[in-house]
Structure 1
Amino acid sequence: MMRSQTYRHKNSSLIWYLFLLPTFLGILLFMVYPVFESLRLSLYVSRGAIETWAGIENYKTVLSSNVFWKAVYNTFYMGFFQLLLTIPFGFILASLITELKWGKNLFKILLFIPYITSVVAASMLFLFVLHPEFGLLNYFLSMLGLPTSVWLAEPSSARWGAILLGSWHWLGFVVIIFLANLQAISEEIYEAGAIDGATGIQKWLYITIPNMYGTFSFLIVIGWISGLQRFTDVYLLGGLQGSPARSLHTIVGFIYERGFGGSEYGIASAAAYVLFAIILFFTVLNLKLTKMKI
């Protein structure tokens, strides 16, 4: 009897493992295998069917390419200023929303809608917003008496157009994360501050902000990782070469151009591993600087 029950228990466990098998195979096929295949391709001159051993020559080609370093500059430029705009502004918005007596959920929904909107749809919308003649941005700038710009025709303004797009799209996520952590701060701390005579601004500066260091660290790390992998929206704004003058050409754009545009799969794979090294380095650096534990 005991053997029969044990046998049934083992069969039941095997059935659950069978349910996990498709997911496990999917991870192996679509995640693990591409990682190792990309590493292998980075050591070959590959145009698909024809492959020739290259060793580290692909990495030398990537690291000596002016186009690649231009893409690195653009990626860091847009990523840095997007974080600089989004995180402080998102924190201020979240702090103001927590003080509202009514309408909190409405503001949360309005701010979060851009984040759940398709990147393609958001980019197409911004193509209209940044239009030099009919765009909403130039319309409001002219109403305020400020100079307008042909946003996507000049390198500097094109980058800032992409920064505004990224900031608008990511702001809702930042606000929601801040709101969740603001609500986790104990009211007793604020009550103790009030007893000591702290004003609202003093509570925000000396209680709220210090208790949000972990959230700031998290958003900085996530923001850098996301920014270093940026591609879809800038591709829709600037095309394969990140026009104008490659000002919207990112590291992932370089990988895509070499891989799918030029069929240079070895160089594209090497660039992908260079990007991985950059992301790893800056993630560890951010964690060290912000004292955030993994």
Structure 2
Amino acid sequence: MQAQLNLKVERNVKKQRNKSQYIWYIFLLPTLLGILLFMVYPIFESLRLSFYNSNGTIETFTGLNNFKRVLTSGDFWNSVWNTFYIGIFQICITVPLGFIFASLINLVSKGQNILKVIYFLPNVTSIVAASMIFAFVLHPEMGIMNFVLAKLGLPTSTWLSDPSTAKWAVILLSIWHWIGFVIIICLANLQSISSEMYEAAKIDGASGIQQWMFITIPNMSGTFAFLLITGWIGALQRFNEVYVLGGPSGSPARSIQTMGAFIYERGFTGFEFGIASAATYIMFMIILVFTFINLKISKMKI
């Protein structure tokens, strides 16, 4: 009898445990439904639409014709060029500059936290709000930039109205917005480097520059790889700032239209959802290839 009673008690305990575990799955259900509805479903629906000529109402199966139209479109390749042009200069300027600033902040004994906040503030600012401010700053007549240049006796520019300077306006905005993130990440790695390495280098007679070149920089390789990969992914997906500054067509003369803006223009302005979906998957493949290349390069360096 006692053995049967103990067996019943164990069964009741197991049932209670199973019930408590099921309750946790119920709490997870809204999140899982949200992921399925707003992430998984759009991915597969976009893939399906890439094989159709669709305006949102009428659909006609076209096979790979949408991909062919995108790959033979001059506007698409212009957007690819703009995306890489802006991204390359942004990354090549921001990462070294942010690392130098982080190295200088790391030498400061007091007020580091204040400097971190000051440099990181642009990164937490909405890119849309920042773009609107930049549009005002770079206004050819009422802008602060031309006002300062005129006071200094330097030539002014039309900035966002000139294709030759519009790209650099976006680059400057991107550098200002992203450099705080680079500084914080670099600073975190700098402060994790063992002080014993620097002490040993001092004993061997290494100067501050030599320590920075042969100890600091090699120990930052993993951080540099992380910043390059995340920077490229963000650069290839660039949309918000170019949309605010130049609209979906990337005015003037499509000089700042990126791949993201091209997709938006075709999908939500021209109602060519099949073309937009095909361009989305081509952009995805480009991001995948460059991420793979960055990983390979970073592993070689590390």
Aligned partner letter, 1:9: R
Number of residue pairs matched by the alignment: 293
Residue 212 of structure 1: aligned partner: 220
> Residues of 1 paired with 2:208 and 2:149: CA distance?
34
Of 51, 66, 86, the match for 1:58: 66
Of 164, 167, 173, the match for 1:159: 167
> Residues of 1 paired with 2:300 and 2:48: CA distance?
34
**Residue 223 (structure 1) shift:** 0.4
> Residues of 1 paired with 2:45 and 2:160: CA distance?
37
Residue 16 of structure 2: aligned partner: 8
Of 87, 99, 102, the match for 1:91: 99
SS at match of 1:147: coil
> What's the RMSD between the two structures over aligned residues?
1.2
Residue 229 of structure 1: aligned partner: 237
**Residue 292 (structure 1) shift:** 6.9
Of 113, 126, 134, the match for 1:126: 134
**Residue 143 (structure 1) shift:** 4.3
| Deviation sequence 1:116-170 (CA, Å, 0-9, x none) | 0011110011012112233232233344443321100111200000000011001
SS at match of 1:242: coil
The question of 1:274 aligning with 2:282 is answered yes
**Residue 171 (structure 1) shift:** 0.7
Of 18, 23, 40, the match for 2:48: 40
Q: 1:214, 1:292 within 8 Å by CA — same for their partners in 2?
A: no
Residue 72 of structure 1: aligned partner: 80
> Residues of 2 paired with 1:156 and 1:230: CA distance?
19
Residue 294 of structure 2: aligned partner: 286
CA 1:189/1:145 → structure 2, altered by over 3 Å: closer, same or farther?
farther
> Residues of 2 paired with 1:167 and 1:104: CA distance?
21
Residue 197 of structure 1: aligned partner: 205
TM-score normalised by structure 2 residue count: 0.95
Identical-residue share of aligned pairs (%): 61
Residue 183 of structure 1: aligned partner: 191
Aligned partner letter, 2:194: S
Q: 1:217, 1:292 within 8 Å by CA — same for their partners in 2?
A: no
> Residues of 1 paired with 2:300 and 2:148: CA distance?
41
Aligned partner letter, 2:232: W
> Residues of 1 paired with 2:117 and 2:48: CA distance?
45
> Residues of 2 paired with 1:202 and 1:128: CA distance?
44
Of 239, 246, 268, the match for 2:247: 239
Of 35, 49, 62, the match for 2:57: 49
